[in-house]
Structure 1
């Protein structure tokens, strides 16, 4: 009888120990699984952020492409919409506030001139979710109609230093400074002559 009770007690103690071990293993497995799921969630969040950053940079590139295209197409109302209302713009010593003022000024100065504007090698850095900064190499070719007292044409080279702001989900230019490194004179535009030599 005593032996039977000892066996029963040993059996019960063994079952209790086994239950504790299994429970401990289950807890460890649950913790390991939770840690793996947490790590995966962090990685997914990081990937989503990197994807969003790439999308934002591409949107800013398209914004600047429209800047150049709208100037050359003389689409001044569309051009004005590319800027925040309080944008600070500095071009060749002229300072403008807001896209509308800049569009009016540019339209007055180069509205009649055939122009070619190009931007290259963008360096765009996101500051936070809604702000960014960028540098662009640029070239602009501008010749006025060949009439008396027309300003001289030029082929210019330089860089744009800019900031951008997301407004209602759309990236806009919030500041712009054009620095010119070189300006080569060009003969003004006459459809019957060579646009480079004027002959």
Structure 2
């Protein structure tokens, strides 16, 4: 296998590991797969009011007040953000058929994605189903590929209430 092929396989495995880690809530493992200066850009999933304040999702409006860009910067901050965001839900993440470009020790990928969140904290039974893309940046450090950045955008999302049975 050539270097480019083995790098693309490693990146596919890395993203698969990321999805497993966040869905199984093994958040401590995130430290191993993120670069120290990693970022998570959420601007593509927010809706803002006429004044530029984040109104949806409400939780992000609290984290990124005013006109602040919705970006979490740094490995420790990303781990804390992801842990806080996913602790109160059952999450199921899927990434499909990535477009991966490798240049030496850096790479980019676009991952079509789908995720489902089932609320386990009040209000119980609330479900979010989203479709979109991750635009990721990767960096090989000492021979190991890590996520250096990810930007998330949605094409469509819907919220609904699970019917009680």
Short-chain TM bin: 0.7 to 0.9
Structure with greater proportional strand content = 2
SS at match of 1:147: coil
Q: CA deviation at 1:151?
A: 9.6
Q: CA deviation at 1:152?
A: 4.3
Q: Does 1:78 align with 2:54?
A: no
Structure with greater proportional helix content = 1
| TM-score, structure 2 as length reference | 0.77
2:134 corresponds to which of 136, 141, 160: 160
Q: Does 1:65 align with 2:26?
A: no
SS at match of 1:81: helix
Aligned to 2:99: 123
Q: How many residues align?
A: 140
| TM-score, structure 1 as length reference | 0.65
Gaps of 5+ in 2: 47-69
Q: CA deviation at 1:162?
A: 1.0
Which one has a bigger Cα radius of gyration? Answer: 1
Q: Give the 4+ runs in structure 1 shifted more than 2 A.
A: 91-94, 150-153, 196-199
SS at match of 2:88: coil
The answer to which structure, 1 or 2, has the higher relative contact order (CA under 8 A, 6+ apart) is 2
Gaps of 5+ in 1: 1-49, 188-195
